[in-house]
Amino acid sequence: MSTAGFRTPDFRGLLRFDEPMHPFAVPSRTVQAIRSAQIAHRICTVITACLMVAAFTITEVGMPLASAAERAAPGVTWASPIPAMEILEAFDPPKEAWLAGHRGIDVNAMSGEPLHAPAAGVLRFRGSVAGAETVSIETDSGYIVSFQAATSDLKKGDEFAAGEEIGEVGDGSHCDTSCLHIGVWKAGGNKVYIDPAKFFGHEQSILLPLARKPAREPAEEPGKDSTTSGAGAWGGHRNGRIPDSAMCVLGSAPGQMLRCDAQKSFDRLSHAYEARFNAPISVTDAYRDYATQVILKRRKGRMAATPGTSNHGWALAVDLGGGINSFGSAEHQWMRANAPKFGWIHPGWARQGGSLPEPWHWEFRK
3-class DSSP string for the chain:
CCCCCCCCCCCCCCCCCCCCCCCCCCCHHHHHHHHHHHHHHHHHHHHHHHHHHHHHHHHHHCCCCCCHHHHCCCCCCCCCCCCCCCEEECCECCCCCCCCCECCEEEECCCCCEEECCCCEEEEEEEEECCEEEEEEEECCCEEEEEECEECCCCCCCEECCCCEEEEECCCCCCCCCEEEEEEEECCCCCCEECHHHHHCCCCCCCCCHHHCCCCCCCCCCCCCCCCCCCCCCCCCCCCCCCHHHEEECCCCCCCEEEHHHHHHHHHHHHHHHHHHCCCCCEEECCCCHHHHHHHHHHHHHHCCCCCCCHHHHCCEEEECCCCCCCCCHHHHHHHHHHHHHCEECCHHHCCCCCCCCCCEEEECC
Highest mean pLDDT among 19-28, 123-132, 218-227: 123-132
List the domains of the chain with CATH numbers: 10-64 (no CATH), 69-200 (2.70.70.10), 210-219+226-364 (3.30.1380.10)
Q: Is the per-residue pLDDT at 71 higher than 60?
A: no
Whole-number pLDDT of residue 272? 97
Once rounded to an integer, what is the mean pLDDT over residues 221-225? 44
Whole-number pLDDT of residue 14? 39
pLDDT band at 59, cuts 50/70/90?
very low
Whole-number pLDDT of residue 220? 40
Whole-number pLDDT of residue 305? 83
Q: Which of 15-19, 41-45, 80-84, 340-344 has the lowest mean pLDDT?
A: 15-19
pLDDT band at 78, cuts 50/70/90?
confident
pLDDT band at 98, cuts 50/70/90?
confident
User: Considering the chain, what percentage of its residues have pLDDT values greater than 70?
Assistant: 71
Once rounded to an integer, what is the mean pLDDT over residues 167-173? 87
Predicted TM-score (pTM) above 0.75: no
Model confidence pLDDT, tens digit, residues 202-219: 544 443 333 344 434 344
